[in-house]
Amino acid sequence: METSEHENGSYLKFFIMIGTSMIAMFFLMYLHSYELIDHAWFSETRLFMTMIMGGAMIIIMLAFMLNMYRSKTANVSIMTSGFLLIILSIWLVRSQSTVSGTDYMEGMIPHHSIAILTSERANIQDTRVRKLADEIIKAQKREIKEMEWLIEDIKNNGIAETEEEANSRAVPDFGSSSE
């Protein structure tokens, strides 16, 4: 009985370790954003990527620690769960079936922010590439402002379902901004 309790405790610790690592990885993915706070919008795609990494961790860590986890039935179930988590998460990230218009923009803001950070800070010496990077920075900053405006407008007024509705709530021109 004592061995069984110890094994269950080990499995519990294993899942706590996996869960804690997944939470840490999810938040760490935002550290390469240009603006850490303002551009850290929740992203379903990042959640799905975290789930892929979690599934991989389950498989890899359990494979390396099989001598600590002796229940073959539990190990097969856990490995299968890891594979299923990866498969489900890959389907979710590739299909984007759960991502709505606002979800899409909330996921794209951190993505655009990364493009700004890398374009601004890369050691680019070719003037053509520098020009391209500067154009990317300008476009990404404008698009972030547009997405933030659209998210707020949709939150306050709902989805613009017709062209007429969209025209009556047109996105302001953020192109003249010097930021």
Query: Which DSSP symbol is given to 122?
Result: S
The reply to whether 105 and 91 lie within a common domain is: no
Quote the pTM value.
0.77
As for how many domains the chain has, the answer is: 2
Helix axis angle for 2-28 and 72-95, nearest 10°, is 20
Residue 38 pLDDT grade (very low, low, confident, very high; cuts 50, 70, 90)? confident
Non-local (6+) Cβ contacts of 138 within 8 A are: none
The reply to whether 55 and 75 lie within a common domain is: yes
- Contact assessment for residue 143 and residue 175, using Cβ atoms and an 8 Å cutoff: no
The reply to whether 86 and 11 lie within a common domain is: yes
The reply to whether 91 and 107 lie within a common domain is: no
The reply to whether 14 and 51 lie within a common domain is: yes
> Which region among 9-18, 77-86, 159-168 has the lowest average model confidence (pLDDT)?
9-18
Domain that holds residue 116: 101-168
pLDDT tens digits, residue range 81-120?
999 999 999 999 999 999 988 999 999 999 999 999 999 9
In-domain check, residue 141: yes
Q: What is the pLDDT of residue 2?
A: 47
Q: What is the pLDDT of residue 5?
A: 46
Q: What percent of the chain has pLDDT over 70?
A: 93
Average pLDDT over residues 59-78: 94
What H or E segment, with its residue span, contains residue 98? none
Non-local (6+) Cβ contacts of 83 within 8 A are: 55, 59
Round to whole Å and give the CA distance between 55 and 41: 24
The reply to whether 146 and 106 lie within a common domain is: yes
Final residue belonging to a domain, choices 41, 73, 95? 95
Final residue belonging to a domain, choices 68, 95, 122? 95
Cα 61 to chain centroid distance, Å, stands at 23
In-domain check, residue 177: no
The reply to whether 140 and 83 lie within a common domain is: no
The reply to whether 27 and 91 lie within a common domain is: yes
The reply to whether 84 and 107 lie within a common domain is: no
Residue 57 phi, psi dihedral angles, 5° rounding: -65, -40
Round to whole Å and give the CA distance between 152 and 24: 29
Q: Please say if the pLDDT value at position 20 is more than 70.
A: yes
The CA-atom distances, in angstroms, between 174 and each of 99, 113, 141, 150 are: 25, 16, 9, 12
Average pLDDT over residues 39-60: 93
In-domain check, residue 35: yes
pLDDT tens digits, residue range 127-138?
999 999 999 999
Final residue belonging to a domain, choices 76, 95, 114? 95
